[in-house]
Structure 1
C-alpha cells in the first residue's frame, strides 16, 4: 500500500481518493505516475493498494511461465495449435507451482477484493473516502459499492466493465462497437474519408487475407534490439487493434499501408510482445477472476456465435478466440476454480454520487455499456469523451477536469468541457 500526499495541503476533513486498478492482474504501483499526472492527488491524498495476488503481495499470483510463453507466441499464428499448447502448458505449470505452496486459487475474486478495500478503510480509520477505478477496477468499484457502501463519499468509474454483463462472449460486442466508432469518426472527417473511404471493407479483407496466408517477418521491437520472428495473421491483426497498437488515430493509415503491402506498423507492434516483463503481471489473478466470474454459463460455441454477430463473414478461426484472452476456456479447465457467476453478475443499485466516464474509441469496454450502469446509480453523471480509448482520464485533460470537479462537488460536477469535443484528426498518409 502507498499513500501519495496532496500537492496542495488538504483540509483535515477532506476525504482521500482510493484507486482500483485494471486487469485484473496489472501492477497497481505502475499506475501511480499516470494518476499523479492526472491530478488525482492535487488537493487530497491518493491511496494505492494492490489487489490481492498482485505484485508485491504474498502470495503473488504472477505466472512467469505465461510471460515466457507469450513472448514465444509472437512467432506463431495467433490461434495456432502450437500457440495453444504452449500457453496451456504455461497455465498448468503456473497452477501447479502456486497450488503446491498451498495457495487457494478460488480465494482470488472480486468479492474478496472488495472486502479487502473495506478492511483497508477501517484499518486506516478513514471516516469516508472517494473511489476511482478503471476497467476491471470499475467492476471492482461497483462490487465494493454494492457490498460495502459504508464510508463511500463518491465513486468515479472509468472505462466501465459492468459486473452484471461481463462474460467472455460479451467482449466481442465491445470490440465491434469501438472499431465501428473509430471508423465512423474517420468518415466524419473529410480528409480521412477521402483518403480511407471504406475502412470496414479494408479491415475485413486484411483479416481474411492474413488468416488464409499469414505473413512471417523479422522485425525489431519498437523498443529496439535484434529483429525477432513474428507471424501476422488475422487474429493477431484484430488483437493489435484491440490493444491500440497502433494508436486509434493511426489505425486507418496502418490499415491502408497493410493493404498496400507494407505491414511494418502492425509487425513492429506484434514484435513488442516478444519483450515481456517477466513476473510483473499477475496472470493467476486474471485466470481466477475470468474463470470464476466471466466464463461460467457460456462456452466456446457461445464465443464464436458472438464473434459472428459482431463481424459477419470473418473467419471462424479468428472469431473463436476471445479478444485479448485466447484459449481461455481450456485454460479455465486447467485453472479449476469455483463458479461465482451468480454472486458476481449482479447490478449495483445505489444513490451514492457517481461519475461514469467512457471513451468513444474504447474497444475493450464499449462506451454504450456504461449507460445501463448509470441508470442504476440515481446520483450519477454519465459522460462520453469523443476520440479517447480505454482508460480515459490519463488521456483527456477534459476528463481530468470533470473528475476534479466531481470530487469537489459530487452532486454537481462541471461537465462543460465535454460539450463540443471532437476526435483529433486521423493520420493521413500521402498518396
Structure 2
C-alpha cells in the first residue's frame, strides 16, 4: 500500500475511533419552533450532544430541528434532511410554517436541521461586535481591518470566558450531529439536501457514515476538500467571463462592445485609489462623508451575480466606467451599515479558520493578483488569515481535506454565473462520485435550484436516482 493510502486509512480509523466513544444523546422539546398544517405529524426539538466528542462527559450543546411528515409516510424511510449554507446561517429560522403540500413532503418525511452554533442553537456564536466595527470604519474614517480584528478578539474572549470550545464548531462535528439525530429518530437512511457550504457538510456525512445516506441532492455545493481562498478571485473572474459571453451572444445588447476590456481597464485605473461620497444612513437625519475604494465598486457588480439580477450587470459596468457610481456605492454601504444579522459569525470563523484558512497557502492566494490584476486586492470573503490568527483554533484533521469517494447516487446543480461555487467544484465532486449527475444551468447564479423552464429535475432524480437524466431545455446541460 502506498504511503498516502496508509496515512488516509489511519486518519479514517482515528476519526472513527474518536467518534465511537460512548456518550448519551438526548432530544429535548422545542415548542413553537414552527407552525404546521394540523393534518401533518410534526416533531420539534433540540438534539443534545457533547460540544466536543473527544470529551464526551464535558459541556453539552443544543441544536434545533423539526421533523414533519404526512400520516401515511414512513417515519423511518425516504426522509429528506436539509441544512442551509453559510457556514453560520440557521436552517429553521427561515421556515415559518409548513403546509400539507410543501414541496419536500412529496418525497417523504422532511427534517430541517440547524448547524451547531447558529441562531436558535445553544450556544449561539453571534459576533455582533464585528458589524459595529465595520460601521465605525466608515463613520470614523478609521482602518477597517484593525477595528474588525479588535472586535473579533473581544468576541472570542467573550465565548472562551463562558467555557465555549470554539474548535468544536466544525464540519466533522456537525456531520456527527446529523448522524446522531438520524439514530435518535430511528431513521434507516437519509436523502441529504445541502446548499453551498452544507453541500460539503453532506459530503462529510457520506464519508463518515455511508450507512446513513440513501442519496445526495446538492445545490451549488462547496466541497470541503478545495481551498476556496486560493480560487476566490478566479471564481469571480470566470463568472464575469460568462457575463461577457452573454453580451456577445445577445443580438439586442447594443452598446456593450468591448465591455470586457473596457471594464478590466477601468478596474485597473481605480486600483489603489480612494473616493468619497455623501452618505445618509437609513433612519438618520444627517449625511456624512464616507470614503470608499475599488472594493465597494466591485461589490456593486459581484453582488449582482445572482439569478435575479445578473441581466443588470452589463449596465452597471457601463455606469461605473462612465462615472455614474454613487447610487451603486450607496447601495453597497446600506448593506454594510445594516449588517447581516442572520449569520452567526463566530460559527463561521470556527469552520472557515479550521478547514479553509488553516490549509490555504497565502503565496498561492497572492498569485491570483498576478493572473487577474483587475481584481487584485478585492476582499471576496469576510474571513481572513488575520481574523483566524485572532480566533486561535485548531485545524481540522487532514481527512477533512481529502476527496469524498462514494457510490451513492447524487444530483448536483450548478449555475454558470455563480461567483462562489463554480461548476469546477461541482465537477470535482462528480469525479469522485461516479453515480452523480450534474446540471449546469445557464444564466443562473448561486443556488440555482433544480427546476428549470418548468421541469423539476429533482423529482426526476428522486423517482429513479440511478436513471440517466435527459435535459428538457437548452438552458440545462446534463453531465
Do the two structures share a fold, i.e. TM-score over 0.5? yes
Matched, 1:324 2:381: yes
1:186 to 228, 244, 247: 247
Superposed displacement of residue 6, structure 1:
5.2
Higher mean alpha-carbon deviation, 68-77 vs 155-164, is at 68-77
Deviations 1:399-429 (A, max 9, x none): 9711122223211264433x31289xxxxxx
Superposed displacement of residue 219, structure 1:
4.4
Residue 83 of structure 2 corresponds to 20
- The CA RMSD measured in Å over matched residues stands at 3.0
* Conserved 8 A contact 1:129-1:154: yes
* Conserved 8 A contact 1:105-1:288: yes
Q: Pairwise mapping of residues 105-120 of structure 1 onto structure 2 (< 5 A)? A: 105-120=166-181
Matched, 1:420 2:474: yes
Question: Against the structure 1 CA distance between its residues 85 and 267, is the aligned structure 2 distance closer, same or farther, given a 3 Å change threshold?
Answer: same
Higher mean alpha-carbon deviation, 360-369 vs 224-233, is at 224-233
Quote the Cα distance in structure 2 between the aligned partners of 1:7 and 1:234: 52
Matched, 1:409 2:469: no
Q: Aligned to 2:143, what secondary structure does the other structure show?
A: helix
Matched, 1:253 2:309: no
Quote the Cα distance in structure 1 between the aligned partners of 2:96 and 2:296: 30
Residue 347 of structure 2 corresponds to 285
Matched, 1:101 2:194: no
Matched, 1:216 2:276: yes
Residue 401 of structure 2 corresponds to 345
Deviations 1:168-217 (A, max 9, x none): 2222222221121122122211222x321122223323323333443322
Structure with greater Cα Rg: 2
Superposed displacement of residue 45, structure 1:
2.7
* Conserved 8 A contact 2:304-2:312: no
Residue 235 of structure 1 corresponds to 295
Indicate the structure whose relative CO is greater, using CA pairs within 8 Å and at least 6 residues apart: 1
* Conserved 8 A contact 2:66-2:92: no
Residue 382 of structure 1 corresponds to 438
TM-score normalised to the size of structure 2? 0.77
Deviations 1:253-296 (A, max 9, x none): 11111222211442133122244357541111111111111112
Q: Which runs of 5+ in 1 are unaligned?
A: 424-431
Q: Aligned to 2:417, what secondary structure does the other structure show?
A: coil
Q: Aligned to 1:357, what secondary structure does the other structure show?
A: strand
Runs of 4+ in 1 over 6 A off after TM superposition: 33-38
Q: Which runs of 5+ in 2 are unaligned?
A: 1-63
Question: Against the structure 1 CA distance between its residues 302 and 368, is the aligned structure 2 distance closer, same or farther, given a 3 Å change threshold?
Answer: closer
Q: Pairwise mapping of residues 87-236 of structure 1 onto structure 2 (< 5 A)? A: 87-192=148-253, 194-219=254-279, 230-236=290-296
Aligned residues: 410
Deviations 1:331-361 (A, max 9, x none): 1111111122622111111011101110001
TM-score normalised to the size of structure 1? 0.85
* Bigger proportion of residues as strand: 2
